[in-house]
């Protein structure tokens, strides 16, 4: 792979963001996949990015492993497996242009859904519905963070909701490594607070991303050349993860989400118009 110096710089920054997103803001690495797909051939970029994501997942599990809610994970896994199979079939016939267009469309879709969710939350606050709920949420979060994972709430909305999000998450993570925003929306809608959210998300993606390795290798997306590139870039994941752990309780979440959404939209448009 012939990569320019600015391409290396962009990939290193994207790998750092992977580590940061895994320990601070799950789903922010949609920016990383846009960068990888812009610097590398879109189809191959998914195979290069996967081991880097797994490295970030390992660091996230080591940080938040005690806060996972396993009933939620077991409810999601069957539907996710179905989505991964569908995504694998898609990749069997999709060329680079189709994959690039798919990644761009998925990024824009996820950004749109995220903005829709944020707008709905803002409208609810204007109606005065969330005053006491916010206080209860803060009290509940403090109690959950003290009591541990057993106090994390289970998902609301039942099995249909879990299956819908699971299939979409499995497909998007297989085709574009873009399952983060889908699962973030599901966990947020289920009522998870910060630590329960990060712990459940960490275990979910470690298991799912690891299970994708044989599929990606079978499709030729992971090979010796891609692993050599990964060996260099994974070094940048570690400082990103430590930075995320440091910032998770200090970051201005609302501003950061806006920046992530803006960058995701720009990345999606760049891939669609490339």
- pLDDT digit of tens for each residue in the chain (274 aa)? 678 999 999 999 999 999 998 988 776 788 898 899 889 988 899 999 999 999 999 999 999 989 999 999 999 999 999 999 999 999 888 887 888 788 788 878 877 877 787 676 666 656 654 444 444 444 344 434 433 443 344 444 467 888 888 998 899 889 888 787 788 778 877 878 778 888 999 999 999 999 999 999 999 999 999 999 999 999 999 999 999 888 877 777 677 667 767 777 877 787 787 6
Instruction: Answer for the pair 25, 94: CB distance below 8 angstroms, yes or no.
Output: no
Please compute, for residue 205, the number of CA atoms within 13 A of its CA located in the half-sphere on the CB side. 37
Instruction: Answer for the pair 248, 23: CB distance below 8 angstroms, yes or no.
Output: yes
Is the sign of the CA dihedral 247, 259, 135, 116 positive or negative?
Answer: negative
- pTM of model > 0.75: yes
Instruction: Answer for the pair 37, 100: CB distance below 8 angstroms, yes or no.
Output: yes
What domain range includes position 192? 5-273
Instruction: Answer for the pair 247, 92: CB distance below 8 angstroms, yes or no.
Output: no
Say how many domains are in the chain: 1
């Amino acid at each position: 792979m012939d990569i320019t110096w600015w391409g290396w710089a962009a990939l290193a920054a994207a790998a750092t963001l992977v580590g940061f997103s895994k320990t601070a803001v799950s789903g922010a690495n949609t920016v990383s996949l846009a960068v990888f797909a812009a610097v590398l051939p879109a189809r191959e970029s998914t195979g290069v990015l996967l081991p880097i994501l797994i490295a970030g997942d390992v660091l996230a599990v080591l940080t938040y492993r005690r806060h996972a809610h396993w009933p939620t994970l077991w409810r999601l896994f069957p539907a996710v497996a179905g989505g991964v199979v569908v995504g694998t079939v898609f990749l069997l016939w999709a060329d680079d242009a189709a994959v690039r267009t798919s990644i761009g469309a998925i990024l824009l879709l996820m950004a749109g859904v995220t903005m829709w969710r944020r707008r709905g939350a803002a409208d609810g606050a204007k109606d005065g519905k969330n005053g006491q709920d916010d206080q209860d949420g803060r009290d509940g979060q403090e109690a959950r963070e003290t009591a541990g994972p057993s106090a994390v709430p289970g998902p609301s909305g039942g099995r249909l909701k879990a299956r819908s999000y699971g299939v979409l998450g499995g497909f998007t993570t297989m085709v574009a490594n873009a399952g983060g925003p889908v699962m973030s929306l599901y966990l947020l809608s289920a009522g998870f607070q910060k630590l329960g959210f990060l712990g459940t998300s960490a275990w979910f993606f470690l298991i799912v991303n690891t299970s994708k390795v044989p599929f990606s290798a079978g499709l030729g997306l992971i090979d010796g050349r891609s692993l050599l590139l990964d060996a260099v870039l994974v070094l940048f994941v570690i400082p990103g993860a430590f930075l995320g752990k440091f910032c998770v309780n200090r970051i201005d979440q609302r501003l950061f989400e806006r920046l992530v959404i803006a960058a995701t939209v720009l990345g999606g448009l760049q891939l669609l118009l490339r």
